[in-house]
Structure 1
Amino acid sequence: MRVLFLHPDLGIGGAERLVIDAALALKNCGHTVSFLTNHHDKTHCFEETRNGTLEVKVVGDWIPRNIFGKFYAFCAYFRMVYAAFYVVLFQSKEEKLDLIFCDLISLGIPLLKYAKHNPKILFYCHFPDQLLTKQGGCMKSIYRIPLNYLEEKTTGAADGVLVNSKFTSRIFSETFKSLKITPGVLYPSLVTKSFDQYKTNDNSVDGIAFNAVILLSINRYERKKNLPLALKAFKLLERNLTKQEWDKAHLVLAGGYDSRNLENIEHFNELIAICENLGLKDKVTMLRSPSDEIKIQLLNRCRMLLYTPTNEHFGIVPLEAMYLQVPVIAVNSGGPKETVVHEQTGFLCESTPEDFANAATLIFKDMKLAEKMGVMGRTRVKQRFSFEAFTEKLNQIVRNLINETQ
């Protein structure tokens, strides 16, 4: 079958990792896959979209991302509608499409129904977009009303809907009350080969002492990721350690950073200020958009992962850590409740520096506990979230969807 993936911006993030893995999975099953996107920066993307593994075409990048610093959602929706028009007018005439896999923005789905050969439309809802919008004043609330209405109605126009966790499935039903849809749950997975290929005996990290005990946080530099929690918990950890232990402790914040994104710039500077206020300037390293190789090197080297978002829709980073036998300390909400097993592969904590610091202390002081949790974490990923299981389930979903009318 020929499958087209329609995605707004092929940057670096959990949503992008999911659609890339989905494309790789279907390609491995013998299907022909390609991407159509509004933006693809080859200096800020995953390797598979840069090295020719996946075909990528960009349309509509000339359309502004905002209007005088406002109306980001409107512009994002308009850019995707433009891409949908392109599919109908050009793409579907150049090649027969059996399936269009789209995510994040649903507004183009009704237009895609007019594509030649009537391809099936599969929509992956990472999380309702209207719930991701920051609260604003009265004018913003009015501005969002038609967008929220259109999001609900156009999502319902898809031939199939998938979500990334049982948590998101519940939120989906609570948000889109008019839709009589029970979305299927397709957990993101890991392409473990990409982790294994970077294995090396050199676990040194630039700027960090070789004997340092690293606590690692991997998240985009966005305020909703609650990165200050990692900094404050790390500061509290000092009181639970001896001076010799504290001297070895080092926190690394690593995550996606887009120089076009004002929030990324502002929040990065805010975190630097917090480090200085806590007296952690020499104890914290902050990395912007590290390569996959550096990220895996950090995971191989660290003692534990601090995963700070609350109500994260799924969260792929805990799986990455668990596969590399790293215990995970995460907030006891959202997707991590479905991936991290409390006191077995890590700890599920309240979103407080005290709770995180206490859990970190146990792992820091007890190397055998860290190793035991690491082994159990890797086993869990291989059993429940393997790329092979993901591939088999997605391929079956796609075939069932296409065969409904055949």
Structure 2
Amino acid sequence: MTTRSNVIIIHPDLGIGGAERLIIDVAVALQNRGHRVTVYTSHRDETHCFEEARDGTLDVRVRGNTIFPPRLLGRLHLLMAILRQLHLTVSLLSEMMREETSEKEQFDSDFYIVDQLPACLPILKTIGGWFGRRRPQRILFYCHFPDQLLARRDEVNPIVRLLKNLYRYPFDWFEGWAMSAADGVVANSNFTREVVGEVFGRGRLGDIRIVYPCVHIESGKEEEDTGHGEELWGGKKVLLSINRFERKKGVELAIRAYHGLGEEGRRGTRLVIAGGYDTRVPENVQYHKELNRLAQDLGLQTATAKTVVSAQSIPDLIDVLFLLSVPTAFKETLLRTARLLLYTPVREHFGIVPVEAMQAGLPVLASNTGGPLETIVEGETGWLRDVDDVQAWTEVMRKVLWEMSEEDRARIAANGRRRARGKFSLDALGENLEKELARLRQAERKPFIGAQHVLGAGMVAGTVMAVVVAVLLVWL
């Protein structure tokens, strides 16, 4: 590397999830390559975030969390997230102005890397260079998926549905407009790039490039065996699902397919459902209860553990074990111990967990949509099946548990490790990011501000306030 940049990363909430893991890896990859990296966020719970965000590996600064709450009346999450990010941006720019006179180190350029929420991009583009900097500044937006496609719009009450659509409309317009302020946009997969192009227009955001997330497993163990290491729970054959406790992850498919094995097929096995769980998020709490109820209605014995110690002492008769916010080290143990990863989300934007599983030598059974189509190789590192065909999922489970030879297991494990190391490593992520930064550094800044944009922003702000007032009146 011949240049050293000052990289500022803005991320809404440093919890435990795929987007959070990605942004931490982006920060570590660039820091490893000699850049100065600072991560700004509006929330970090040191008991519920990745180790690098709390152990001093990264310079993490929490800003924009003192005026606006995460939610208002249990709702308006997006509006509050935007306001918190704007507050964070003002704090960030103020700090940059104060640090200008005392900063000793010299950098070739400043880079802002923003993901998930693009609200701050117009501000960074318009006034980010007004603080005495004499070096180039560029903005890179990492798009996981259009937010407007993630919003739930399935309210039964037609009046509430109409109000929500009115509430969402200015935000949906604002998302594309704000993203167009970035000097460059990258996506986490070809699937996401195609969706972004369809939603916002293929020419509006320029050439959207692909930067795959990376696999990141702390211990770096790479046993050259059949893909399962030390034993847990007396050597039970473990089927593993790792996802946040959100309905869109479709984890009920794993429970139904596991039930389909029958009592004899489940003997000596256990389905472990692990993942991000935050008591601040009502859906996490509710979805865990729904999954637990489903398993019990199917006649399966269930248990829930919140710590590693309690997880390891679960009685032998438990069929389905829920692990809430499993620590990274224990997740690695699960990946090395399990026989099969069940990845149930439909049209997942990328999906880092299947890549983590491949790195650990664990075969993957995933939905035949979205990101897994780019990560999983059918029959070589795992299998892709339709989520509507529960029986097909059950049959793959049965094959892996009772029919697969040790030679085939070792072959799939080796294929998975090879693919993860070659295409989805931390080094590959750093190299691809370095190329994007170099490309933006050499290119002219993408034009953005004009009278029509200022007028449009004013109209959006007015519409948002009017809709918010109307929604609040109805809900109250």
TM-score between both structures, scaled by the size of structure 1: 0.94
Counterpart Cα distance in 2 of 1:49 and 1:400: 28
Runs of 4+ in 1 over 4 A off after TM superposition: none
| Equivalent position of 1:297 in the other structure | 333
Q: Counterpart amino acid of 1:324? A: A
| Structure 2 residue 48 is the aligned partner of structure 1 residue 44 | yes
CA deviation map 1:65-102 (0-9, x unaligned): 11111111111111111112222233354257711110
Given candidates 313, 324, 334, the residue that maps to 2:349 is 313
CA deviation map 1:347-375 (0-9, x unaligned): 00000321111111111121433332111
Residues matched between the structures, number:
397
| Equivalent position of 1:12 in the other structure | 16
Aligned residue runs from structure 1 range 1-400, under 5 A = 1-62=5-66, 63-95=68-100, 98-113=110-125, 114-115=127-128, 116=131, 117=133, 119-135=137-153, 136=155, 137-177=161-201, 179-192=204-217, 194-196=218-220, 203-205=230-232, 208=233, 210-238=234-262, 243=264, 246-281=266-301, 282-351=318-387, 352-365=389-402, 366-368=404-406, 369-400=408-439
State the 1:405 CA deviation: 4.8
State the 1:34 CA deviation: 1.0
CA deviation map 1:181-239 (0-9, x unaligned): 231100001235x242698x98344xx3x220000000000000001000000001227
Q: Counterpart amino acid of 2:38? A: S
Residues 397/7 of structure 1: CA separation in 2 closer, same or farther (3 Å cut): same
Residues 191/211 of structure 1: CA separation in 2 closer, same or farther (3 Å cut): closer
Residues 92/315 of structure 1: CA separation in 2 closer, same or farther (3 Å cut): farther
State the 1:331 CA deviation: 0.3
* Worse-matched range after superposition: 40-49 or 78-87: 78-87
The runs of 5 or more residues in structure 1 that have no matched partner are none
Counterpart Cα distance in 1 of 2:51 and 2:293: 33
Secondary structure of the residue that 1:4 maps to in structure 2?
Answer: strand
* Worse-matched range after superposition: 279-288 or 252-261: 279-288
Instruction: Report if the CA contact (8 A) 1:15-1:126 is conserved.
Output: yes
Residues 180/54 of structure 1: CA separation in 2 closer, same or farther (3 Å cut): closer
Counterpart Cα distance in 2 of 1:403 and 1:254: 44
TM-score between both structures, scaled by the size of structure 2: 0.80
Q: Counterpart amino acid of 1:271? A: L
Structure index of larger Rg: 2
Secondary structure of the residue that 2:380 maps to in structure 1?
Answer: coil
CA deviation map 1:340-397 (0-9, x unaligned): 0111111000003211111111111214333321111111112221221221111121
Q: Counterpart amino acid of 1:259? A: T
Counterpart Cα distance in 2 of 1:267 and 1:198: 34
Counterpart Cα distance in 2 of 1:124 and 1:159: 11
CA deviation map 1:113-170 (0-9, x unaligned): 2123362111000000111100140000000111111100010110110100000000
Counterpart Cα distance in 1 of 2:434 and 2:34: 10
